[in-house]
Amino acid sequence: MDLFALSDHWLYINFGIPLLICLARVCDVTLSTIRIIFVSKGERFIAPVLGFVEILIWLVAITQVMQHLDHWQNYIAYALGFALGNFFGIVIENRIALGHVMVTIITKTDAKKLIKILRDSGYWVTEADAIGNDGAVSLMVTIIKRKEISAIIPIIKENNPWAVYTFSDIRYVNQKMANVPVVYNLESKDSIKDERILEKI
């Protein structure tokens, strides 16, 4: 079949072009969403590459729209692709779960059990006494990978159901210092770092 004849066929004009526009928009907006996340994480090399591919795909989509301004289907396809691109971008980003988050836990009840379990589970916990609107509270802070959010929430709920916890995105973590072994003394609230490890860093 002649490709030029196919490009003028009513099926291609009314359905093929809108489908191509929608798919192109889904791809470029998905890449845009992921690129913005990489930019926020300080990824200087991956973000420009994604931006390059993203703008190429966008040019293909907008060119088709501008060449067929008399077809309302193209406008719908363009908008639909934008909406779906945002959705898929967020889904993909949640799956790959880039970066780290700071977990802040506040509780009015005794936090020693929760702190011990978190530390025994491999989490590095900093604790402090604080004052809330209703009096004294215990404040706990730890930094984890975003992939570990689903693992730490059940621990908090099971061992301190009344605790309030939040997750905050952070851009940079000093990985070397975070890997230094620490021995905790829950009674004196002291911590001792392994100086032999520190000397090698």
pTM for this model (two decimals): 0.61
pLDDT of residue 12: 63
**Ranges under pLDDT 70 in the chain:** 1-14, 173-201
For residue 2, what pLDDT is reported? 44
Which of 70-84 are b and which e, b meaning 16 or more Cβ less than 10 Å from the residue's Cβ?
Answer: ebebbeebbeebbeb
pLDDT at 176: 53
Residue identified by tokens 């690129």 is 35
CA distance 181 to 100: 19
Phi, psi values for residue 175, rounded to 5°: -60, -40
pLDDT of res. 4: 45
175 token code pair: 């990985």
To 10 degrees, the CA torsion angle through 80, 82, 83, 88?
120
